Structure 1
Amino acid sequence: MKPSDKEEGTGRRHGGRYIYEELRRQILTLQLKHGEQLDEISLANTFGLSRSPVRDAMARLVSEGLVTILPNRTAIVTPFEIEEFPNYITALDLIQRAVTRLAAKHRSEADLLKIEAANAEYMEKVYQGDFSAMTEKNKAFHLAIAAAGRNNYLATYYDKLLSEGQRIQHLQFDFMTSQDAPQKLGRDHDELIAVIRAGDADAADKAAHEHTMLFQNRFLTFMQRNLLKDMDINA
């Protein structure tokens, strides 16, 4: 391989990672709206790169469920269907309970330190009021729990569910911060950490379920007060 070819390949990989990270950020923070079309050529022009790294980035976003390819090959930001929220909560609840239960059974002292460190980083962003970073640190906290459970199949699916949860959180950012002080938001994880440290699998299952229900109730309250005042939503 010529040096120039190697440099071009490296640049393409780095460019693809940058495009992926930027598009992912815009999708999760709702700068790119649900159902918005993503044109490969336009994106290549916007980022000043060829279509190849754009295609690589899009493929990764598709694998994470954040981008959908329609039958006519059009790429769009995966829509969030309100009607699917109960199904999302069911899936999140089952997986969250499973990974937290496993974490309580299999966690090591090193795992506990990683979980607590991830929560400390989350808390830092909560007190700073950096909501975008807060959702990322919240996800990292839950993935640290999943890693302690020693089941990559569950952890991979959990990652996808948490990414969708970030989009849902961004819908209700103003509402959440007006309803809950940082001290209250930050205490959401305390019980999860305590039961995992205690090694109590049943208590971990219960705490994880309650954590899911807290997320559900916040979102439903937000929707009923702000977007669906005339619609009854029951998960």
Structure 2
Amino acid sequence: MAGTVKRHGGRYIYETLRRRILTLELKPGSPLDEVSLADSFNLSRSPVRDALARLHSEGLVTVLSNRSVIVKPIDFEGLPRYLDALDLIQRAVTRLAAGLRSDADLEEICQKNQEYMDAVNASDFGMMSEKNKEFHLRVSRAGGNPYLTQYYENLLDEGQRLIHLQLNFIISDLSSTIGNDHEDIITAIAEGDMEKAEEAAHEHTELFRKRFIDYLNKSQVKDFNLSWIDGKEELAL
């Protein structure tokens, strides 16, 4: 392992820290000290600094006024705006996929969904969040618009910690189950029905919204003093 770290340096540190942040192994607000990280990876501070800079560019860490670095806190108050953006872009890329996908695209979309379901059946919520992202990106690429795909990937990255929170909670809640959430999207894309695909994408975002509200209501999240309205429900913690 030490040899691997030495060979790959900053990339290895970046990938390791990114995974730990997205899976919440590193909690929001956790400090990321260059010296301590360099010691733990047995490397100089330079590749650590490069890795932190890349994580900062992706919005996963925050640099404070005293130049210290922390894992970016989750912006619960900004969640309604995030979901609005996710809904719009998800509807657009899924609609395009239904109209433009090839047979090869459809086959790969189904394969990504199977990998997601394998993670669901294994109750591996870390892998579930990764495979969920891969599925949606494959759908977007089938639509053939790289600009939309890049923006969509940024949104999926930003929301991955939220997905991880709710998946972890669903698995731990014996009254809840996760099925094949992508089935309607795949059916619409297979049929080439753009209207149906857009509707299925919207319903998928609404499922995310409802699950997260359920997570916040049932969990012991009390530190955020959050009050926001999703159009149907009001949540005040």
TM over 0.5: yes
Deviation at 1:11, TM superposition (A): 7.2
- Where do residues 72-221 of structure 1 align in structure 2 (5 Å cutoff)? 72-177=66-171, 178=173, 179-181=175-177, 185-221=178-214
Q: Confirm or deny: 8 A CA contact 2:22 2:160 kept in the other structure.
A: yes
> Offset at 1:13?
6.8
CA RMSD of aligned residues (A): 2.1
Q: Deviation per CA, 1:70-106, whole angstroms, max 9, x where unpaired? A: 3443222111121111011111111111111111121
Q: Which residues of 2 match residues 58-69 of structure 1 at below 5 A? A: 58-69=52-63
Q: CA deviation at 1:228?
A: 5.6
Shift of 1:231: 6.2
Kindly state the Cα deviation for residue 148 of structure 1 after the two structures are TM-superposed.
Answer: 0.7
Aligned to 1:68, what secondary structure does the other structure show? Answer: strand
Give the corresponding residue for 1:29: 23
Say which is worse superposed, 220-229 or 100-109, in terms of deviation. Answer: 220-229
Contact 1:12 1:53 in 2 (8 A): no
Number of matched pairs:
223
| 1:175 Cα deviation from its structure 2 partner | 2.8
Separation of aligned partners in 2, 1:79 and 1:228: 14
1:219 counterpart letter in structure 2:
F
Q: CA deviation at 1:173?
A: 3.4
- 2:28 partner amino acid: H
In the TM superposition, what whole-angstrom CA distance separates every residue of 1:96-141 from its partner, at most 9, and x where no partner exists?
1111111112111111111011011111111011111111111100
Is the CA contact 1:16–1:54 (under 8 Å) kept in the aligned structure 2? yes
Corresponding position of 1:44: 38
Q: Secondary structure at the match of 1:172?
A: helix
Q: 5+ residue gaps in structure 2?
A: 231-237
Q: Deviations over 1:33-67 (max 9, x none)?
A: 11222122221111111222212222221222111
- Mapped contact 1:220–1:233 kept (Cα < 8 A): no
Looking at secondary structure, tell me which structure has more helix per residue: 1
1:65–1:160 contact (8 Å) kept in structure 2 = no
Task: Give the TM-score normalised by the residue count of structure 2.
Answer: 0.87
SS at match of 1:18: helix
**In structure 2, distance between residues paired with 1:101 and 1:137:** 21
Q: 1:33 to 1:199 in 2, by over 3 A?
A: same
Letter in 2 for 1:222: Y
SS at match of 1:211: helix
Unaligned runs of 5+ in 1: 1-9
* Distance verdict in 2 for CA 1:12–1:59, change over 3 Å: farther
Shift, 1:12, TM fit: 6.4
Distance (whole Å) between structure 1 residues aligned to residue 229 and residue 220 of structure 2? 15
Residue 39 of structure 2 aligns to which amino acid in structure 1? N
